[in-house]
Amino acid sequence: MLSKARLYRTAGFLLAALAGFCAVNASAVPSFARQTGMACAACHTLFPELTAFGRQFKLNGYTMQSTPQVMNGDEKNPSVQISAIAPLSVMFQASYTDTKGGVKDANNVTIQGTRANLQFPEQFSLFYAGEITPHIGAFLQVTHGDSSPGFTMDNSEIRYADHFTVGDKKDLIFGIVANNNPGLSDVWQSTPVWGYPFAGGATYEKPLSWTLGQSVGGAGAYVSYDDTIYAELNLYKAMGSGGADTPQTDPFTGVATSNIAGWAPYWRLAYQSSFGDNYLEVGTFGMNTRLYATGTGTSGPTDNYRDLAIDAQYERPLGNDSVVVRAVLGRESVGLDAFREANPTQPNVSFRTINVNGSYHFGANKSLQLAYITTSGDASSAAALTAGLRTGTRATVLEGAYYPWENVRLSLQYTAYAKYAGVSDGASDNNTIYALAWFVF
């Protein structure tokens, strides 16, 4: 039986991790293949992992087009140009989860006699993904989950892109993007939105900015210079009037209804290069977010969350096979200025996370993934210590995937915990087997 202290610790952990746990990456949709007239393999080694061409397709605003067009006006500068085939796609996922210590309820208490969870669907999504008009494209997703009553807005963005020649005939892509998830515009699988695990995976603590999907909206600009240097700057704001519609959980103080104050800047800088058969990307990204410290407040003092991360992605073909290695190291520094008004001895705190993972692709229809994830953080307030918020997790994820067709992914995943929600004793009770059937069409 769980002790009360451990129950509080685990419940608090789940509160902090919940926002980032259920998200499933869905960057691969067949409407892109129908629009370009190319097979899925042109953009993906094995979906959802992008190839170099797939990254360029996204940076260019999803606008590469080979389908018949409905046009009006001058052919070189039409007043309207719309694809005769609507860029629509469907994604369906069904899953089976078996947790060693049993399925937990909302308070992390084991449901008597229940250790397995069948979801049909786990996720059912509809997409409009492709060109809207020359230079403008979209990736718009609405999703129905097993536990949701209807469809809700999921990861979505609209972007404009154009090319310019600068300097010594160097190519520059300039883009403007608006989306509802910081990092959604990224083109690498080393960053959180599109990173591994692609589905299922370990439950672990994440920096605040990694968990804001669909609770914020923002816009900004990006440039890609000479297919080498990538830079992006966006500003995000909470949805609704004053952010009241999208409260966040302050992961250090335990306040479950804090709202984002004002605009939160997100930035990204990356360098990529190919040498011989090798490809390497190294980069950094971060975000600065302020939360109101009490209740559903929309004014007054705030706590400040500064997130900074570095990432890398390495790729190399090996005959008919290929290997991809990815890593992200994140650090969050938290200034609890507002919280300190009621807790004057409260120091500032910090939190760290590391996710190192890799994929080995056996030809064009099989892959093996391995990931190691670890988190750690400073002690925070007495209330947070009681709840055990952000006190550390260590997990290893092993997954095998089989693609009988390019748009069907069947996978079996095992997650093993050496530490869970700050506790090593009994961590293995959370070990999980996850089987997934993933269809996109």
The predicted-structure confidence for 92-107, as pLDDT tens digits, reads as follows: 999 999 888 765 544 4
What residues are paired with 162 via a beta bridge?
Answer: 174
Q: How far apart are CA 339 and CA 59, in angstroms?
A: 41
Whole-structure pTM value: 0.83
pLDDT at res. 48: 79
Contact 431, 99 (CB under 8 A): yes
Question: What b/e string do you get for 275-288 counting C-beta neighbours within 10 Å, with b at 16 or more?
Answer: eeeebebbbebbbb
Contact 418, 424 (CB under 8 A): yes
User: Which residue numbers in the chain have pLDDT < 50?
Assistant: 1-24, 105-107, 112-113, 242-245, 257, 380-388
Helix residue spans in 46-178 (DSSP H): 52-59
Helix residue spans in 48-200 (DSSP H): 52-59
Q: How far apart are CA 62 and CA 66, in angstroms?
A: 12
pLDDT at res. 11: 35
Contact 353, 206 (CB under 8 A): yes
Q: How far apart are CA 399 and CA 181, in angstroms?
A: 26
pLDDT at res. 387: 42
Q: How far apart are CA 337 and CA 314, in angstroms?
A: 40
Choose which CATH entry (2.40.160.10, 3.30.70.120, 2.170.270.10, 2.60.40.10) describes domain 4-440: 2.40.160.10
Of 266, 268, 277, the residue nearest 305 (C-alpha): 266
pLDDT at res. 153: 87
Helix (H, G, I), strand (E, B) or coil at 209: helix
What six digits make up the tokens of 236?
């995000």
What are the start-end ranges of the E strands in 156-294?
A: 157-166, 170-179, 216-225, 229-238, 263-275, 278-292
Give residue limits of the domains in the chain: 4-440
pLDDT at res. 297: 58
Q: How far apart are CA 2 and CA 258, in angstroms?
A: 29
Give backbone dihedrals phi and psi of 7, rounded to 5 degrees, phi first.
Answer: -60, -45
